[in-house]
Structure 1
Amino acid sequence: MFPHIDYLEWITGRPEAATHDLGSSDLRRAVPEPDGIVPPELEALPSPPDDLDLETIIADAYDVGTENVLVTAGATHANFVAMAAAIDDANADEETDEADDEHRDPRVMVEKPGYEPLVATPDGLGATVDRFRRPEEDGYELDPGRIEAAMDEETCCVVVTNRHNPSGRGASRETLAEASRITADNDATLLVDEVYAPFCANGEASVFGGPTAADLPNTVVTNSMTKFLGFGPVRVGWLVADAEFVSRARSVMFHVPAISAPGMALTRRALYAESDLADGSRERIEANRELLASFVAERDDLSGDVPSGCTYGFFAHESADGDEVSAAAWEEDILVVPGRFFDDSDRFRLSLGLDTATVKEGLDAFEDVLDTVSAKS
């Protein structure tokens, strides 16, 4: 029923095996000792009051009620649950529409280029997957008009990332509001994966660091502990939506694994002190973004943009496709992600998530790889 997700199968184990990791986008922090539980950077932080639960901390950050929050086992889990709830809702509407004798298949529309799991998940859930474009020639901007033009009356869910994965392009609250209006007019759900929304400069910060689509009509947003806060092993995320949607999503949760109590406790502590942790994350974002932008600008054989406040981007080599660049890098133990996992085999994604000194060493090594690739052309 569920298709293979080639990217996840390809990436598994590679960050750990690579000498230089230029593929991981999470702002990774130190992990506990082998028998430990608490990440070192959480040990010194204050614990929240006993009567302040995790749902309340998240709800307060988004200025919504706790009935609008569902805690999940990471953002991938949140996206799965949200899509399943939207598809289930569409199927329920079909069953109650006695006037329509024709069978209607729920359809989910996903941005292109886009992150492969966001395409594979609705396919595995039985929906027909359509695509709308965020073309390179438009700077990968989110254009609500393209959503409107591609909408079908059976479209039950529209899926976008903000920041866009893989380009790093951000969309404003106003653009998200227009996408929400168009989606709501079609009685569909807009799903905005916001795991990269906090990647921004200090002056742009808002909810968990960036512009959010939370609390827009017919809209659900997802986020997690993994990318901006850098606590991927905790495996906790959340979705924020209207209370009725959260109720449907909670019903879906009964069919999938629950979240561990230690993970919930660690997340409470991290989000309670989020502003303290964010300072370090944002310092790394600004340093690594400058490093990546300089690296790309100094190479005549590379093209592509590094958006402001972002540590990753989608690039093309003048004479080699994404697989060739990635394979040449991997021969030197450098992890670079080929663009075929994001619908564009000509490109590759560079992600500077690790500490600045470490990724600088990686870029120095990758420069030698690119010199070799260019010399062969």
Structure 2
Amino acid sequence: MFSTIDYLDWITGRPDAATHDLGSSDLRRAVPEPDGIVPPDLGDLPSPPDDLDLETIIADAYDVGTENVLVTAGATHANFVAMAAAIGAAESDNEDDEDDGNGTPRVLVEKPGYEPLVATPDGLGATVDRFRRPKEAGYELDPARIEGALSDETCCVVVTNRHNPSGSRASRETLAEVSRTVADNDATLLVDEVYAPFCTDDEASVFGGPTAVNLPNTVITNSVTKFLGFGPIRVGWLVADAEFVSRAQSVMFHVPAVSGPAMALTRRALYDESDLADGSRDRIEANRDLLAAFVAERDDLSGSVAPGCTYGFFSHESADGDEISEAAWEEGILVVPGRFFDDDERFRLSLGLDTETVREGLDAFGTVLDSVSAKS
């Protein structure tokens, strides 16, 4: 039912094994000692009041009720639960519809896109369709393309904002137009917002960027992994209308629950989110400038770096994504090939670590690119 997700199979173990990690997109923080539990950056932060639970902290940030929030074991878990809830509701509707009871639910996913967002609905038994976010248009989210790709059986439309892998960001107005189109089709719009906080200080809003919260027929997902950099805690959430959250909660009974210690650490992180965000924002601005300068100085690379974003999708003049990634890995440099994002010709660079560390990595990667270009 669930096939191997090639990207996750490929990436497992590589960040720790790499001499230079230019593949990890989370703004990673120091981890506890082997016998420790609390990440160092959380150790000295004040704990929230005992009567302030995690659901309330998240709900207050998005200006919704706690009935609109479901805490999950990370964003991948949230996406799984959301898709399962949308597909399950469509299957139930089909069973109740005497005329069209045999229709298979369909899920429409952006292309290029993050492989797990395609593999999950496929594993859940839905038919997966795709709509384009073409590089010629800057990978923008085009509501007309979504409308043209919808069918009567489409139960869920899946997008990322910021777009993974390009970093393109859709505005709240564009998301609202998409949500209306999806709602008119009686489908659910799922917006993965783990990269929404990647922006500058003057753009910051809910957890950092434009959100699709409170749009019709829309569920958003997020986590403490990417922007706040607490991946090992493994906590995320989804926000949707109360009826959808109730369906998603029913799915949660079939999958592992979130651990109590992880919930407690996340309460502390989100309670003090504004303080933690300052450090993340500083790194975003410095690393974005570093990445943009690196790409601009190389005649053999094409692609753009979105404002306020530390990752991007690039191509080399004479080598495809696998050739670049393999040449880099021979020198201990982690670069993600574009085949995991539907484009064999490109590769994703992500500057998630501290600025001096990724500066050294880019210098080493530049030497690899010089060697590849010299051979062409």
Structure-2 separation of matches of 1:364 and 1:137: 29
Q: For residue 126 of structure 1, what is the aligned residue in structure 2?
A: 125
2:312 corresponding residue in structure 1: 313
For 1:19 and 1:135, the matched residues in 2 are separated by 33
Counterpart residue number, 2:175: 176
In the TM superposition, 1:161-172 aligns within 5 A as 161-172=160-171
Unpaired runs of at least 5, structure 2: none
Give the corresponding residue for 2:21. 21
1-structure distance, mates of 2:263, 2:100? 46
- Taking the aligned partners of 1:67 and 1:131, their CA distance within structure 2 comes to 32
Distance 1:262 1:375, change over 3 A: same
| AA of the residue aligned to 2:314 | F
> In 2, Cα distance between the equivalents of 1:106 and 1:212?
26
SS in 2 for 1:348: strand
Q: Per the alignment, in what secondary structure is the counterpart of residue 3 of structure 1?
A: coil
Query: What's the counterpart of residue 45 of structure 1?
Result: 45
Identity rate of aligned residues, in percent?
84
Q: After TM superposition, give the deviation of residue 102 of structure 1 in Å.
A: 5.2
Letter aligned with residue 64 of structure 2: V
Aligned to 1:89: 89
* Residue 248 in structure 1 maps to residue 243 in structure 2: no
Judge conservation of contact 2:94–2:101 (CA < 8 Å) in 1.
no
Distance 2:258 2:47 in 1: 20
Residue 341 of structure 1 aligns to a residue whose secondary structure is: helix
Does residue 273 of structure 1 match 2:288? Answer: no
Q: Quote the residue 1:153 is aligned against.
A: 152
Q: Partners in 1 of 2:101 and 2:188 — Cα distance?
A: 22
Contact conserved, 2:27 with 2:228, CA < 8 A, in 1? yes
Q: CA deviation at 1:101?
A: 4.7
Contact 2:224 2:231 in 1 (8 A): yes
**Shift, 1:4, TM fit:** 1.1
Q: 1:352 aligns to what?
A: 351
Aligned partner letter, 1:17? A
Distance 2:146 2:205 in 1: 26
Q: 1:98-247 residue pairs with structure 2 within 5 A?
A: 98=98, 100-101=99-100, 103-247=102-246
Letter aligned with residue 12 of structure 1: T
Matched, 1:322 2:321: yes
Question: Given residue 112 of structure 1, which amino acid in structure 2 is its aligned partner?
Answer: K
Which aligned pairs between 1:39-78 and structure 2 lie closer than 5 A? 39-78=39-78
- Work out the CA distance in 2 between the residues paired with 1:80 and 1:352: 27
What does 1:274-293 correspond to in 2, within 5 Å? 274-293=273-292
Q: Which amino acid aligns with 1:14?
A: R
Aligned to 2:259: 260
Gaps of 5+ in 1: none
2:276 match: secondary structure: helix
The 3 A distance-change label for structure 1 pair 101 and 266 is closer
Instruction: Kindly state the Cα deviation for residue 26 of structure 1 after the two structures are TM-superposed.
Output: 0.2
4+ long deviations beyond 4 Å: none
State the alpha-carbon separation in 2 of the partners of residues 35 and 254 from structure 1. Answer: 31
Matches of 1:41 and 1:176, distance apart in 2: 34
TM-score (norm 2): 1.00
In the TM superposition, what is the alpha-carbon distance from 1:140 to its structure 2 partner?
Answer: 0.1
CA distance in 1, matches of 2:151, 2:346: 30
Q: Output the TM-score relative to the length of structure 1.
A: 0.99
> C-alpha separation between the residues in 2 aligned to 1:36 and 1:358?
25
How many residues are aligned here?
A: 376
